[in-house]
Chains A and B, each alone.
Chain A
């Protein structure tokens, strides 16, 4: 699980082009949206594509996304339980 979280942080930084942010800067329970990393709706779309492309998880219910994308911790938990890749 720890490896997955580190991998996920690296992918988020790369895909969302988070300049000046390192893996160490992102805490497992930091909110991804709002006060935390300050991501927005376009970033959410990028994360949905990332989940599908890299882990084979298709998210079709927006309400589901809200809880999954709360933090790296919630994302990693969901991926570990549902990944097909």
Chain B
């Protein structure tokens, strides 16, 4: 059974939430880049809003946009991916433990410190009693959610699924990562440092083609470590009887730092006919940033237009390749509807 992406939603470092054209976007230029927060008041009751962490609010907003676009009120499943979960409340809870000598622990930050809070709150808002799962697999967290939904819709277990990736910046954790020279600071750009971001990107996978459909999700694959990028890509595409030469656009999760290694250049070499598109200079790096890249790929396919230049191009296949520091490789193949 074919699986289509029929709705998209995003909250990111950018002002807008959709229809991204690189010329209209601002490149992230600092070590830490907060997501631009939309107004949540029309969407979430004030009583609930005051207790929600940023990641939860971003997730609810992005999922609402995706569902609205797909014209689905309650999905069959809510499947999320997150690298670090609700980090702000986790930090708040741990700080309270330290400050109060493990006494006086309040419930709100504890309840919200679990990784599945976003998926749970989305389901509560929607009164969705279906399958609800959260994957916490570092830089393949989102792809794990995608793979789960893809397999279940392909198998006929679900008609549709709301999937997404969400991560938020927590000051304490980011400070530690800056001390470890993994995230750039305002004063220093480290050899392996990245400009960090945050955000939520959600999409609706469905077994039916609609006028709203963005792309067909043909296949996805996750591998923690690989021996050879060319072999990884060739083997993956061979599952669909394709070769790298048939990929018109290659979307890579490059940070343009030493973390990239030679992985992305090897991917570009093997997909020699492809136009290469990048996205992390607009989203920042975070564990589920690849969902932002997939969103861009969907829009490129639907509108048959390149993200970087806005130039029209006939695109049949897009391959999205992401990895971080030589680990957590993922490939997702999209096809024009």
Check if B208 is an interface residue, CB within 8 A of chain A. no
- Choice from A15, A38, A52 contacting B47 with Cβ under 8 Å: A38
**Which residues of A sit under 8 angstroms from B105, Cβ to Cβ?**
49
* A19, B57: Cα distance in complex, Å: 15
Establish whether residues A45 and B107, one from each chain, have CB atoms under 8 Å apart when the complex forms.
yes
Establish whether residues A46 and B46, one from each chain, have CB atoms under 8 Å apart when the complex forms.
no
Establish whether residues B107 and A17, one from each chain, have CB atoms under 8 Å apart when the complex forms.
no
Check if A25 is an interface residue, CB within 8 A of chain B. no
Establish whether residues B51 and A17, one from each chain, have CB atoms under 8 Å apart when the complex forms.
yes
Establish whether residues B51 and A42, one from each chain, have CB atoms under 8 Å apart when the complex forms.
yes
**Which residues of B sit under 8 angstroms from A59, Cβ to Cβ?**
none
**Which residues of B sit under 8 angstroms from A46, Cβ to Cβ?**
106-108
- Choice from A20, A40, A49 contacting B106 with Cβ under 8 Å: A49
1/0 per residue B25-59: CB within 8 Å of A? 00000000000000000000011011100000000
1/0 per residue B196-216: CB within 8 Å of A? 000000000000000000000
**Which residues of B sit under 8 angstroms from A19, Cβ to Cβ?**
46, 49-50
A-B contact count (CB 8 A): 27
1/0 per residue B50-74: CB within 8 Å of A? 1100000000000000000000000
Interface size on A, residues (CB 8 A): 14
The residue in chain A whose Cβ has the minimal distance to the Cβ of B50 is A17
Minimum CB–CB distance from B101 to chain A (whole Å) comes to 11
Check if A83 is an interface residue, CB within 8 A of chain B. no
* A42, B112: Cα distance in complex, Å: 12
Check if A16 is an interface residue, CB within 8 A of chain B. yes
* A77, B108: Cα distance in complex, Å: 27
Categorize the interface residue count of chain B.
10 to 19
Within 8 A of B (CB), among A15-39: 15-20, 38
Establish whether residues A49 and B50, one from each chain, have CB atoms under 8 Å apart when the complex forms.
no
* A53, B103: Cα distance in complex, Å: 9
Minimum CB–CB distance from A26 to chain B (whole Å) comes to 15
Establish whether residues B104 and A18, one from each chain, have CB atoms under 8 Å apart when the complex forms.
no
1/0 per residue A49-68: CB within 8 Å of B? 10011000000000000000
**Which residues of B sit under 8 angstroms from A53, Cβ to Cβ?**
100, 103-104
Minimum CB–CB distance from B336 to chain A (whole Å) comes to 45
* A38, B308: Cα distance in complex, Å: 49
**Which residues of B sit under 8 angstroms from A17, Cβ to Cβ?**
50-51
Check if B111 is an interface residue, CB within 8 A of chain A. yes
Within 8 A of A (CB), among B101-157: 103-108, 111
Establish whether residues B51 and A15, one from each chain, have CB atoms under 8 Å apart when the complex forms.
no
Establish whether residues B106 and A45, one from each chain, have CB atoms under 8 Å apart when the complex forms.
yes
- Choice from A20, A38, A42, A52 contacting B104 with Cβ under 8 Å: A52
* A18, B108: Cα distance in complex, Å: 13
5 A/B residue pairs, CB under 8 Å, sorted by A: A17-B51, A18-B50, A19-B50, A49-B105, A53-B104
In the complex, the 5 A-B pairs of residues with the closest C-beta atoms, listed nearest first: A53-B104, A17-B50, A45-B107, A49-B106, A19-B50
B residues with CB within 8 A of A: 46-47, 49-51, 100, 103-108, 111
Contacts A40-B47, A42-B111, A45-B106 known; list 13 others, CB within 8 Å: A15-B106, A16-B50, A17-B51, A18-B50, A20-B46, A38-B47, A42-B107, A42-B108, A45-B107, A46-B106, A46-B108, A49-B104, A53-B100
